[in-house]
Amino acid sequence: MPSGLVASRGRERARRQLVVSRPVEIPSGKFETLETPTDAELVRRAAVGGEGARAVETELCRRFAPRVRLYGLRHLRDQDRARDLVQAVLLVLLEAVRAARIEEPEHVDRFVLGACRNIVARIREGEARAIPVDPADLEVPGLMPTLERLDTPALLRCLVKLDVRSRMVVHMCFHDDATADEIGTHLGTTAGNVRVLRHRAIAQLRHCLDRGQEVEA
């Protein structure tokens, strides 16, 4: 065999051995994607915030939503109420994660379970209050408060002395039975500001009626 061919084969064999024996380096960022983070790791990452926090929160919701839904179906026995439970529990979870209020991320599942229990209890409590009572079981005279005679002319005099905005809020609230949102849309303000205006107007009217004084504009 020619010496040139032997030397060429020797160099090829040495190159193959070098390639096989050389360690393959994987960038740290790529390596992290090969492992699925635990629930606790997701909680810690979401608490830090910054870039990627939204994706982490989405993953937390994706993991816990089916568990919460099953809990709701088991204890509430209704599809719609189970969906409401999922939304309420995930909102509590995200708020706690963002505020770093979960002291033991390893037990985030216990936190979610506790939130499920508390919210289901509130739902059941609200339903119990909504159950109608037989009128025969009500002691109507004992439940009816003693009403004082209202001085309608005095109330009208006090109402006229309110500023236009406050008077309109009182009228729409107690005469039209409008909500704060509806009144706010009509007046071009927020529902919160409507509640403030209503509270102040009622206080002025009460002061006027109690003391027999006119409301100060």
- Is 150 strand, coil or helix? coil
Q: What are the phi and psi torsion angles at 129 (to 5°)?
A: -70, -25
Residue 148: φ, ψ to 5°: -85, 150
| C-alpha closest to that of 169 among 157, 158, 156, 182 | 182
CA-nearest of 63, 132, 127 to 93 is: 63
CA dihedral defined by 97, 103, 104, 105, rounded to 10 degrees? 20
Residues 77-111: tens digit of each pLDDT:
899 889 999 999 999 999 999 988 998 999 999 99
67 has pLDDT over 90: yes
What pLDDT does 177 receive? 82
What span, in angstroms and rounded, lies between the C-alpha atoms of 127 and 34?
47
pLDDT in tens, 174-217: 878 888 888 988 888 898 888 889 888 888 888 887 776 544 44
- 108-153 confidence digits (pLDDT tens): 999 999 999 999 998 888 776 666 656 555 554 544 444 456 677 8
Tokens of 46: 């979401």
Least confident of 11-15, 47-51, 64-68, 145-149: 145-149
Tokens encoding 177:
């039975």
Rounded Cα distance, 9 and 28, in Å: 37
Are the CB atoms for 82 and 69 separated by under 8 Å? yes
Q: Which domains does the chain have, with CATH numbers?
A: 35-130 (1.10.1740), 152-211 (1.10.10.10)
The pLDDT tens digits of the residues spanning 162-176 come to 898 888 888 888 878
pLDDT level of residue 64 (50, 70, 90 thresholds): very high
Tokens 């090829």 correspond to 12
